[in-house]
Amino acid sequence: MLTKTQIAKLSVEDQELLAKLELSKTRQREQLLKEARGLDWRSRYFPLYVFAVVIILAVLYYFDTSYFQRNPVTLYFLAAMFVVAVDRFHIQRLNRRLDALLELLDFDHKSQNDSNSSKDEEAG
């Protein structure tokens, strides 16, 4: 981490490069925070997917298009497949969020170590 006086001594091109580097780090951290909080589009629309499939299964049963009322085993099979798919999706999303949290933790530790090492250099 550079101090303000060290940054002022750099050329304009180097200052611009340093600013772009810091901006990319900040954007990466924001993206990791967004993913760790579960604010991506997949988690927002997930309840709609569940609702839509439940409605489709209910309509198939009600209108008896595939003789589900006489033989409900196929409907149970479709519902079981749906539950397995929902569980799989939920586990993948949890793993994605945990990975983002771990990356964010590593990112914060690295930035904290960089700031501590720059303070040590200034003191020494």
Q: Mind listing the pLDDT tens digit for each residue in 60-77?
A: 888 887 788 888 888 888
Q: Write down the pTM of the prediction.
A: 0.66
Total domains present in the chain: 1
Residues above pLDDT 90, as percent of the chain: 19
- Please give the full DSSP string across the chain, using - where no structure is assigned: ---HHHHHHS-HHHHHHHHHHHHHHHHHHHHHHHHHHT-SHHHHHHHHHHHHHHHHHHHHHHHTTT-TTT-THHHHHHHHHHHHHHHHHHHHHHHHHHHHHHHHHHHHHHHHHHHHHHHHHHH-
- The residue segments making up the domain with residue 51 are 4-123
Q: Stretch 88-104: mean pLDDT, rounded? A: 90
For 8-30, write each residue's pLDDT tens digit: 888 899 989 999 999 998 999 99
